[in-house]
Amino acid sequence: MRSGKKQPNAFLVSNADSIIKDARSELKSPARRLLGKQILTLGGIAMLSGCDLSNDKSVNTMLRKMSFFNDRVQALLFDPNKMAPTYPESMITRPFPFNAFYDIDDVPEVDPATWRLQVGGLVNGKRSWTLGELQAMPQESQITRHICIEGWSAIGHWGGVRFSEFLRRAGADTTAKYVALHCADNYWTSIDMPTALHAQTLLTLTYDGDVLPPKYGFPAKLRMPTKLGYKNPKHIVAITVTNEYPGGYWENQGYNWFGGS
Ligand X SMILES: Nc1nc2c(c(=O)[nH]1)N[C@H]1C(S)=C(S)[C@@H](COP(=O)(O)O)O[C@H]1N2
Which range binds ligand X by CB under 6 A, 17-25, 38-46, 68-76, 179-187?
Answer: 179-187
Q: Which residue is nearest to ligand X (CB)?
A: 229
Strand stretches in the chain, DSSP E: 117-121, 127-129, 140-148, 152-162, 178-183, 188-192, 202-207, 210-211, 221-223, 236-242
Q: Which is nearer to ligand X, 217 or 246 (CB)?
A: 217
Contact call for residue 232 and ligand X (CB under 6 A): yes
Contact call for residue 235 and ligand X (CB under 6 A): yes
Q: Do the Cβ atoms of 26 and 73 come closer than 8 Å?
A: yes
Contact call for residue 212 and ligand X (CB under 6 A): no
Contact call for residue 219 and Mo ion (CB under 5 A): no
Q: Do the Cβ atoms of 184 and 161 come closer than 8 Å?
A: no
Contact call for residue 248 and ligand X (CB under 6 A): no
For the CB of residue 221, give the shortest distance to ligand X in the complex, in Å. 7
Q: Which is nearer to Mo ion, 40 or 148 (CB)?
A: 148
Contact call for residue 245 and ligand X (CB under 6 A): no
| Bridging pattern class, strands 178-183 and 236-242 | antiparallel
Cis amide linkage into residue 95, ω under 30° from 0:
yes
Binder of Mo ion out of 160, 217, 229, 259 (CB under 5 A): 229
Binder of ligand X out of 97, 171, 247, 254 (CB under 6 A): 97
User: How many Å apart are CA 164 and CA 251, to the nearest integer?
Assistant: 24
Binder of Mo ion out of 230, 255, 257, 258 (CB under 5 A): 230
User: How many Å apart are CA 246 and CA 99, to the nearest integer?
Assistant: 23
Q: Do the Cβ atoms of 229 and 148 come closer than 8 Å?
A: yes
Decide which of Mo ion, ligand X, none touches 97; Cβ closer than 5 to 8 Å per partner kind. ligand X
Q: Which is nearer to Mo ion, 115 or 255 (CB)?
A: 255
CA distances, 35 to each of 21, 67, 108, 236 (Å): 15, 17, 47, 40
Counting residues that bind Mo ion (by CB under 5 A) gives: 3
DSSP 143: E
Query: Which residues contribute to the site for Mo ion (CB under 5 A)?
Result: 148, 229-230
